[in-house]
Amino acid sequence: MNSFDQDYLNKYGKIIGIDEAGRGPLAGPVFTAAVYVDSKEELKLLSNIGADSKKLSEKERIKRFNFLIKNFKYDINYSDESVIDEINILRATNLSMIKNLKKLDLKDVFLMVDGKNFYFDDRFECVIKGDEKSSLIGAASILAKVSRDNYMITLDERFPEFEFKRHKGYPTKKHIENVLKYGIIKDYRITFNPIKKFLIENKVKYNKNDFSKYRLIKLGIL
């Protein structure tokens, strides 16, 4: 059993682990997930499942994802690219986490959140590298990662020229080449470089109707 999580459970009785996936990509939403436990039995069950999603193979992540959604109380949510552009990635991530908590609708819980600079009305602690220290946060990271990957795979089916299935929206060399060749669609975060730079310098094609006036005004291109 994870002693890190056990200490929090002993102190607070009911705990929620929260993590995100997709803060760095150039396209697509940022996903967040929250997983709830209130017993030693649940933590013991979680101890061999929760892990930093980045350190697991895709096959293993999916296997653990399916186990988690069958055996734990959880919520998965996201903030899309328009929200990210309008309020910034940190606030958009925090907003999605708040939506997780509203969906779970639990009282007198303590939140363990991966990262820093997040804020909630409930009692909480931001844990640097929380997905490595906590099985509970690690479980949330798996739910968020697999959910976002599935979203990007679906997006790839609609827009195969961008190859979202391969890079999930992250700024790989091939992804940048595809952007310069095909332009951008509404799913891109236009406040993120190099997309922002390409737009300002008129290096990529785009449809103005795909983006709100507010997003374009922020870049000074409308």
Binding residues: 19-20, 114
Residue ranges of alpha helices (H) inside the chain are: 3-12, 40-46, 58-71, 81-87, 89-104, 130-133, 135-158, 164-167, 173-182, 195-200, 213-219
Q: What is the spatial distance between Cα 18 and Cα 165, in angstroms, rounded to a whole number?
A: 25
Backbone angles phi, psi at 197, to 5 degrees: -60, -45
74, 143 contact by CB (below 8 A): yes
Known binding residues for a divalent metal cation: 19-20, 114
